Structure 1
Amino acid sequence: MKILFGFVFVAYCLHVTFGACYFKLEDGDHCTPKNGVTMLAGSELLIPEKCEKCTCSRQSDSSSVYMSCCGYGIHTGAIGPPPGCEVIAGDDGCSVKIVQALDHSKPCV
């Protein structure tokens, strides 16, 4: 129980960045991701210009909501391509392409 309380307290006081995600605990009925859009509890938001997906959830037995936003595609986190290859963004800016390091027009096999 002390561990759970400690986690909730830290999350409440700070915006925590963890890998390709960030989390935030807010009072009230809505969450506000970094793009400034207001989300109601129980909703999800896709932010394609940032390759990010956010969810806003009601905390049980609380007047707070919990927001988590995580990158997807190219913004998922570290992607380790095979030797001689590179990871680049696809045509939509979010999808992942693994291509030859010396010629980005050729896929890595």
Structure 2
Amino acid sequence: MKTLFGFVLVAYCIDITFGACYAKLEDGDHCTPKDGITMLAGSELLMPNVCEKCTCSRHSGSSSLFLSCCGYGKYAGVFAPPPGCEVITGEDGCSIKIVQAIDHSQPCVH
């Protein structure tokens, strides 16, 4: 029973991670989302290699910058398609399509 509970807990955490957003305050004149990338205040960055969109803005009432990043497309969150349908990843690797389970060339209509 403990093993099953542990597996369910890990699976739940993975789903949360894929649909996650994160934000942080940063000092200095730029934001740093990851991997040494830098962003100026007022800029927006789309990172299709990780399906993530970030914005860097001046935090109100302070000299700090506010970095906010969220997943998009297949990493926008966790959801389930209607019965008889499936979710497939688009050609860009991030976007999703909801299609009929028996024929992926047809859109899901419900």
Place the TM-score, normalised by the shorter chain, in its bin.
0.7 to 0.9
- Measured after TM superposition, the shift of residue 62 of structure 1 is 1.3
- Measured after TM superposition, the shift of residue 103 of structure 1 is 4.6
2:37 is matched with which residue?
A: 37
- Measured after TM superposition, the shift of residue 83 of structure 1 is 0.9
TM-score, normalisation: structure 1: 0.72
Structure 2: segments with no counterpart, 5+ residues: 1-16
Q: Which has the higher contact order (CA 8 A, sep 6+)?
A: 2
The DSSP-based 3-state class of the residue aligned with 2:97 is strand
- CA RMSD between the two structures: 1.9
2:8 is matched with which residue?
A: none
- Measured after TM superposition, the shift of residue 25 of structure 1 is 1.0
Amino acid at match of 2:96: V
Structure 1: segments with no counterpart, 5+ residues: 1-16
Aligned length: 92
Instruction: Quote the sequence identity (%).
Output: 76
Spell out structure 1 runs of 4+ moving beyond 4 A: none
More strand by share: 1
